[in-house]
Structures are given as C-alpha cells and as structure tokens.
Amino acid sequence: MSSPVVLEKHGSIGVILVQNPPVNALSQAVRQGLADRLAEAIADDDIKGVVLAGDGRTFIAGADIREFGKPMQAPDLNSVIRAYEESPKPVVAAIHGTALGGGLETAFAAHYRVAVAKSFVGLPEVKLGLLPGAGGTQRLPRVAGVKTALDMITSGDMVPAPKAREAGIVDEIVDDLIPGAVAFAEKLVAEGAPLKVISAGRGKLDEADPAIFDEYRAQVAKKARGVLAPQNCIAAVEAAVKASSFEDGLKRERELFAELMESPQRAAQIHIFFGEREVAKIPDLPKGTEAKKIGKVAIIGCGTMGGGIAMNFANVGIPVTIVENEQAALDRGFGIIRKNYENSAKRGRFPMDEVEKRMGRLTPTTSYDDIADADIVIEAVFEEMGLKKEIFAKLDQVMKPGAVLATNTSTLDIDEIASATKRPEDVIGTHFFSPANVMRLLENVRGEKSSPETIQTVMDMGKKIGKVAVLAGNCHGFIGNRMLHPYRRQAEFLVEEGAQPEDIDRVIYDFGFAMGPFAMGDLAGLDVGYRVRQHQLKTWPQGKRYSSLGDKIVEMGRHGQKTGAGWFLYEEGDRTPKPDPVIKELIEKHAAEAGLKRRAVSDEEILERCIYALVNEGAKILEEGIAIRPVDIDITYVYGYAFPKHRGGPMHYADHVGLDKVLARIRHFHEISGEDEWKPAKLIEDLVAQGKGFKDFTR
Ligand code: 3H9
C-alpha cells in the first residue's frame, strides 16, 4: 500500500509532503510515513535540509479524531515528534491552511517554522474535551510565553499567522509556500544555522507570573462550568513551568491527557464535533442538488428578530433590505442594530470603521416593491398565522420567480403558510434563535412541498453566515420548541408538587445549562407563552394536566425581567433572579386550591423529570421523522438551547446514562402520573429491547 507521506527532492532540500485529504489528519499511516520519510531524508547524502508540508488545502489539522477510543497503534505521535527534533539536518515546517492540534505540535518538532500570511495555527483540543497531548502544552509556553499559551490552549481559538509570527510561534512569513520554505531551508544550510530544539531549553517559561495559573483557573471555572478539559490544560501548562525537566512536564501532560481521554466529556464533545458536520448532510436530497445563489436578502420586520437576522448577512458582506410598515419602526430597529455593532466594536470584536461598513449594507424601506429582486426573503413578524399568510400572499405577488420565501416562525405550520402562495416549493422555515446575531443554531424547517433546491439553499446559507444549520420536519414547534414543551411542563408540575422555582433552576444550572427554565422564561418574557397557552386552552384535551401557575403570574402583571418580576424578582439594573416570597405564597395557595399535597422533591427527581421529558419527546420526534438523526436533536439543543456541550445533547446523554435505565425511569413516571406525555416512545422500547442506544439508530 502506498504511503500518505511522500519525499520529494527540491535540489538539496528534501520536501516531506503529507497527502491525507481532506485535512491531512495524523492517522497511523501518516505517523508511520512521517517517520519513514524522515529516516530516508536523513540517510540521503544529497539532502542537506528538510521541509515538512501538507499537500492540498492545508498543513496538518491534528490527530485523526476517528482513531480516538480505539487502541493506539505505533508509532505514537510523541516518538515521531522526537525523531524530527533529533534530526541532524535542519527541518523547516511550512504551514498553509491550518496547523492545528497535533499538526502544530508536529510543527513544533521542526527547528524552524514558516507560514503563508493567510494561514492559522491553534491548539483546539480543548474543544474536543482534550488537551494537546503531543507536547503542545510544554512547547508552546516555551516559544510564546505562558500567557499566550494559556490563552490559546484554554480557548482553542486559532491565531492568524502574522500574529503567530509576533508571538514567536512562526519564524517567517513566506509568499509562496514550498519555494519560500525551500529557500529558507537552503539559507539555513548555507549559514550553518543552529538547530533550534524547543524542548532543549526553558525558553520563555521563566517570564511567567506564578499567580497566573490561579487566575486562569478561576476564569475558566466561571466560563466553562463543570468542564474538565480547560482545567487540565492549565495544569499541564503549569507543569511545564514547575517540572524540573521537559521530560517530567511531558509525563504530566500525558497523565492529564489520558484522564481526559477516559472522560465521558471527551466522548460528548467529539460527538458534537462530528455532529456539526453530519447535520449538513440531508440523505434524501438528490445527489448534486444545487443551492440557489444568495446575493441579496430581504427581511420583513425590523423587530428584535428581524434586526438580529439582518446582522448575520451584513456581517458577511451580503446586502439586506428590511421592510416595515412604518418609518418609526425602521428607525427604532436600525438604532438597535447600530448600537449592537458599536458595542461589538468597543469590545474589540472588529475595528470601529466596520460599524459603518456593516450598516451600509442595510437598507430600510416601507415598500415591498423594493425587495422584488431579493434572492431570499425572510419573514420575521409577530407569531400569528393570519398575519403571516397575508404577508406570504403579498410576497407571492412581488418576489421574482425562484426567490426563496422563508419564515422565521418558531412553531407555526409551514404548509399552511405556504398555502397562501402559488409556489409552495419555494417556501421554507428558517427558525433563528434569539439573539439571532449571536446564537449558532439555525433550525430550517421543510414543508411538504419545499423543493430540494430550496432546502439546499437554506442549509448552505446557514454555513455562509456562520451558523450550524439543522433540518427539521414540520410539526408544532419543530424539533426544538416541541421538546421544550414537556420539559417546561415538568418544571411547573414539580413546583406544584413541592419544589420551588429556584430549586429547579439550581439543578438545571448545575447540570450545565446556562440557566434554568424559570430564569429563561423571565428572560424571554412570560407574556408571549401566556398568549400561546390561552389560544391552546381552547382545544385543550380533556383530562390532560395543565398548570395555570404561570398564567397567574402573568395575570399579576409579572412578565419577567422586563417588568422587574416574573417567577423571580429583579432589582433595578440587575439581571440576577431573586426568589420572591410573594411567589412562594402563590405556589402554596395554588397547590391548595388544586388539591395538591406538597411534598419534598429531590434534586435527582428534578433532573430526571426535566431531562428525560426531553429525551422521550426527542425519541417521538425521531420516530416521526421530524428529526433525521439523534445527532440533529443533540445539535439543536446544544446550539439553540444551551444544553451543556460536554454532555453531548439529550440523546447522547441518554445513551451515556444507559437507555435501559432511562426507559425504566420513564416507565416509572408514566405509571405514577398516568400522563400520556410519559408514555415511553416506541423507539426507546425497541432500541432497549435490542440492547441498543440512540447511537445505533438507523432509518
Ligand atoms: C489532537 O490533535 C490531539 C493531539 O494533541 C494529541 C495526539 C496524541 N480527524 O471541518 P470540515 C474531517 S486532536 C479526523 O468540514 P473545514 C471532518 O469530519 C485534533 N477527521 O472542513 C470532515 O469530514 P466529512 C485537533 C477530521 O474546511 C472533513 O474532515 N484538531 C479531522 O470547514 C472536513 O472537515 C482539531 O480539532 C480530524 N482531526 O475545516 C481540528 N478534522 O467530510 C479539527 C476534520 O466526512 N478540524 N476532519 O464530514 C477542524 O477544525 C476543521 O476540520 C478544519 C477544516 C478547520 C481543519
């Protein structure tokens, strides 16, 4: 079998090229090839120096993640790296695309590094629940200093080559990758330049302030609550400083790496990494389905959602026209967008002059005639079917043929909306999450007649604007909000039965969510859900449990944070939810009126009832084909509802607990409540009967 690593001769320089598309990951064959080609280059008297580069679109993007969890096959990366460091001939790593994780660690084995200006370097292992385990935590602080190393390793963020050059990670920026690197190596040979071995000395290690590690530990504990990897990253960099030798530091790095490798958090985060890519694949679309070009966008509605959605396009250079009924609404909306941009610029996200550039891509109008030539129009008005249908009928009249007609509805029937047009094949749901310019999820919702091109267009659009797009089927609430419904109901029932809202929120927060369901309700505004419930109550099924507690709170004028009170109390200018004795009293009274005898509710019961309600509904959604795969649900929850990433989403979490155990609890809740909602999904019953989990799901 041919090796994925080749050796080419460019005069007196041997160029070792990794050819393992798409990202030159360090599979066993690549590691072996790297070792073998180096040995050949060293043995060849005509070769005086070596360049190490990646073929195709990138340098090496890291270890082969698909090999994790399987037995490690020799040679391991550390021994390959050691061989390069010990090469008697100078080695130059030539970086283009991205040098990530094990890729950058391999580049650190070289005596020098050159890069093209448009490339990036980084140690993103933390995002996979890991730490750089091939010397990255030991070598990076030596070359770039402890602070830069901690920043890069705990964030996992990529650094552009010019910045890496300033930090000492890269020695020179070259215009032309291979010729530039070969020329650099020739010069080293001609000058008899020293072979710089990073691990041979302490480099910048002693410049560190010893207090820095505690500072980062505290920062990370806040930012990544309950997440193991960033803490181990800090410990590994600390070991670089404190260990008496490079070898000792490396040994500690290996121990900390092994601990993470064994952790369920690592499996969860890698599940999300592959999931992000998997959800882009829509199995039933005909091969070669082309997305329509999106050069111009129109948005109907300049409220919070419309404005946020518009920003996504303006951010990537796509012009947007926003329609409102009145000039005053446009002025208000544009004012908010401008303020958001100015705040981002003040926080250093982009230079101040970007504010005007981005604002310049937004055009306000009160006339539908001005959007006729847009490639896609996204309706983002009030959640009311009559209004939406009226708008779609109008869009059908004005929009050019083939334009995508999208709705940002979060619950309503896409087919009914499409029925207001004569072109249902062009109609689709594009459900953004608030704040729409920040949240990563885009839940696209296909109608019965949405064409493959329309679907492909909104999936590609998601990627273009930096979102993770998931495709859902059409039902009330689609994937995300439909699952949220039983979750919220359980939270309210638990309060009726004996818990306090702050108990529920604490348990959910400790599990890793950004906030619990009650603080979340207060943040979103309780009046919106109230209106929806009043509508639903008209057709509420006989005998189905209903908690009117939330309604009573709204009827007291408590609409959440915006009115200073909801489930919790908020002091002026403070978003911290404070338990309110008034609510405690209301709960007691409400329970007494409903004839409910309040009891002690354990944290375990809170967690199980809230999370397993999500899992059971998720399984029903899968059964019905509303979600394509379990991972589509996991991605929806992680990126749209802040389900803790290190737990991998509700379906992955259920597999982690053991689907049989989850089923036993669901059966128990069904038995004691008699609620239809707790009837175990047939899919769960079937998977458990076959000894399987969601990970084994196939259609
Ligand atoms: C590590 O290095 C550990 C070491 O410290 C210690 C070792 C002892 N492995 O993202 P894309 C696949 S941990 C296997 O769509 P882009 C990906 O799944 C690693 N497969 O492209 C996709 O497959 P498919 C540290 C990988 O251009 C295809 O390649 N490194 C890997 O948008 C294309 O990917 C990282 O964490 C991999 N390492 O972005 C870097 N990487 O076509 C992870 C990608 O079947 N990778 N694939 O769906 C990335 O961040 C992005 O892929 C990258 C390219 C920026 C490189």
* pLDDT at residue 306, rounded to an integer: 97
Q: Is 463 in the pocket of ligand 1 (CB under 6 A)?
A: no
Could you identify the residue written with the tokens 């796509």? 318
* pLDDT at residue 420, rounded to an integer: 98
The average pLDDT across 137-152 equals 98
The average pLDDT across 178-184 equals 98
* pLDDT at residue 145, rounded to an integer: 98
Question: Distances in Å between the alpha carbon of 102 and those of 68, 157, 247?
Answer: 13, 15, 18
**318 pLDDT tier (thresholds 50, 70, 90):** very high
Report the separation in Å between the CA atom of 62 and the middle of ligand 1, taken as the mean of its atom positions: 7
**125 pLDDT tier (thresholds 50, 70, 90):** very high
**533 pLDDT tier (thresholds 50, 70, 90):** confident
* pLDDT at residue 14, rounded to an integer: 98
Q: Is 519 in the pocket of ligand 1 (CB under 6 A)?
A: no
* pLDDT at residue 47, rounded to an integer: 98
* pLDDT at residue 349, rounded to an integer: 93
Other C-beta atoms closer than 10 Å to the C-beta of 190 total: 11
Interval 55-91: pLDDT, tens: 999 999 999 999 988 888 999 999 999 999 999 999 9
Pocket test for ligand 1, best of 65, 126, 233 (most atoms within 8 A of CB): 65
CA distance 144 to 134: 17
Report whether 268 contacts 646 (CB < 8 A): yes
Q: Is 281 in the pocket of ligand 1 (CB under 6 A)?
A: no
pTM, full prediction: 0.94
DSSP-assigned letters across all residues of 219-239: HHHHHTTT-HHHHHHHHHHHH
CA distance 411 to 531: 13
Q: Which atom of ligand 1 is nearest to the CA of 281?
A: 48
**271 pLDDT tier (thresholds 50, 70, 90):** very high
Half-sphere exposure of 144 (CA within 13 A, CB side): 26
85, 105, 443, 617: the catalytic one is: 105
Interval 450-496: pLDDT, tens: 999 999 999 999 999 999 999 999 999 999 999 999 999 999 999 99
Task: Catalogue all structural domains in the chain, each as residue range(s) with its CATH number.
Answer: 5-261 (3.90.226.10), 297-477 (3.40.50.720), 481-625+629-696 (1.10.1040.50)
Residue of 328, 441, 419, 436 whose CA lies nearest to 378: 436
* pLDDT at residue 320, rounded to an integer: 98
Partners of residue 52 on adjacent β-strands: 16, 93
What the block records as the tokens of 576 is 């911290």
The average pLDDT across 183-210 equals 97
40, 67, 85, 125: the catalytic one is: 125
What the block records as the tokens of 637 is 């929850």
Report the separation in Å between the CA atom of 151 and the middle of ligand 1, taken as the mean of its atom positions: 21
* pLDDT at residue 536, rounded to an integer: 86
Would you say residue 1 has pLDDT above 80? no
Report whether 182 contacts 13 (CB < 8 A): yes
Interval 201-248: pLDDT, tens: 999 999 999 999 999 999 999 999 999 999 999 999 999 999 999 999
Pocket test for ligand 1, best of 18, 23, 126 (most atoms within 8 A of CB): 23
Report the separation in Å between the CA atom of 10 and the middle of ligand 1, taken as the mean of its atom positions: 30
Report whether 324 contacts 364 (CB < 8 A): yes
Is 125 a known active-site residue? yes
Report the separation in Å between the CA atom of 265 and the middle of ligand 1, taken as the mean of its atom positions: 18
Q: Is 77 in the pocket of ligand 1 (CB under 6 A)?
A: yes
Complex confidence, ipTM = 0.98
